[in-house]
Structures are given as C-alpha cells and as structure tokens.
Amino acid sequence: MIEANPALSVEVACGDDTTMGLYVARPAGKAIAGVLVVQEIWGVNHHIRSVADRIAALGYLAVAPDIFHRTAPGYQNTYDNMDGMKHAMAMKPDSVAADLRAAHGWLTGALPTGAPTAALGFCVGGRIAFAANALLPLTASVSFYGGGIAGALESVPAMHGPALFFWGGKDKFITAEHRRATVDAMHAAGKKFVHVLYDQADHGFFCDERASYDASAARGAWVLTADFLAEHLARHAA
C-alpha cells in the first residue's frame, strides 16, 4: 500500500527538483552525534522508525530518509508484499547519492559543528549504508544483511570510517562467496571492519515483524551495534 506517512515530518531538497521526507528521532538530551537509518524495500515503516527511535535512545540524532520518494513518496508496506522491489530497482546511483547528501546535510546542520555521523541500514539499505561510508565523511557504517554489497566493492578504497557487517548463515540472497569477497576487498584496501555471522539466522533476522526474526541474533547484533556506535561516534564526539 502507498499512503501518506505522517512520520515523514521534515522535507529536504535533493538538488534535482525533488524533495524527500525524513523521519527524525531525537534523543532526550543534546545529541552528540547523528545516524542515517536506511530502509529496506518496505519503506520508512514501523520497523525502520522503531530502529531510529532506538538509535535516539542511545543519545544520537537519527534520520530515516524516504529513498523511494521519486516513485512512491511516503511508501510503506507489510512484509508479505514484495511490491517495493520495483521501487528499489528504479533507483539510480546518482539519485541515491543525491538523497544521501541531502539527508546527511540536514543531519549535520541539526548537530553541533563537527559532530560525527554514521549510517546504518538493512538489506538494500545495508548496501546503501555501505556506499554512504565512501560517499560521505562518516566515522562509521553498519550494514545488516546488505544485499548487493559484493557487487559494489569498487567503493571500498574510498571508505572513510570503520564498517560493521552482519550476515545470516541461512541467507539465500547473500552467499558465503559474497561474504568472502567483501571481507577480501576490505582487507586488500586496509580498511578497519568487523563482520559477524549468525550461522543459524536468515535474511531479515533483526526485524521482529518478519517470519525470519531470530531473537537471539537480534539481541546480540544490537549490543554489538550500540558498542560499535559508542566507540566510533561517542569517542569522536568527546
């Protein structure tokens, strides 16, 4: 379904005569850093907003951009509907880059000067968060089962900050060969990274609204994510 998403309460210009909605989650106190939270193919839905809220609870300003705004502004859908795939396929690299710059520009403008920023994403958003690490001056990125990362490894040498990758051993979309290629590229470029394989978990294991949810893997991944962000955001903000 495509419906108005009142959660997208902020709009930014993307430099190509389009505007994009942002879901903004603010911490209780003064934000010390910021995080871009990048959606799956189901849009800036309840799950993505809940992740942004959890990031805000850690003390960071979180922003989830509506990256389908060119084909389906405000799009959000349920996990039994794959209609969002066509919107993901319609995205162009230049457009995604424009969206990332616009969202990051708003984020940095809402933070103290020089505050560090990171990107975190899931599936297609995991790949976009990975790409954002090279495109933007981020201090870190986190990719949950980032589909297509192994096909975008040319960006690895340009990555600005350390990366954290989460994989599911039962994920049929991301094979052991894909994981190995990513690891090899990061090693070859001398980049700092952590990669974590939950062998019994499937694609989408972090989302408690999906059949593939794995509570144990999700809990462990969140602890690691919070520690990773604290290391690379709080340390740089100090």
Give pTM, 2 decimals: 0.95
Question: Sheet containing 140-144: which strands, arranged edge to edge?
Answer: 10-13, 19-25, 61-65, 34-38, 117-122, 140-144, 163-168, 193-198
Residue 51: per-residue pLDDT: 97
The answer to whether the CB of 193 falls within 8 A of the CB of 163 is yes
Say which CATH superfamily domain 10-237 falls into: Alpha/Beta hydrolase fold, catalytic domain (3.40.50.1820)
The conformation of residue 231, written as its DSSP 8-state character, comes to I
Q: What does the pLDDT profile of the chain (238 residues) look like in tens digits?
A: 444 565 678 999 998 889 999 999 999 999 999 999 999 999 999 999 999 999 999 999 999 999 999 999 999 998 999 999 999 999 999 999 999 999 999 999 999 999 999 999 999 999 999 999 999 999 999 999 999 999 999 999 999 999 999 999 999 999 999 999 999 999 999 999 999 999 999 999 999 999 999 999 999 999 999 999 999 998 776 5
- Return the amino acid letter for 2: I
The answer to whether the CB of 181 falls within 8 A of the CB of 165 is no
Domain locations along the chain: 10-237
Give the Å distances, CA to CA, from 15 to 39, 191, 215: 21, 31, 41
Which of 144, 175, 147, 1 lies closest to 79, judged by CA? 1
- Residues with catalytic function: 123, 171, 203
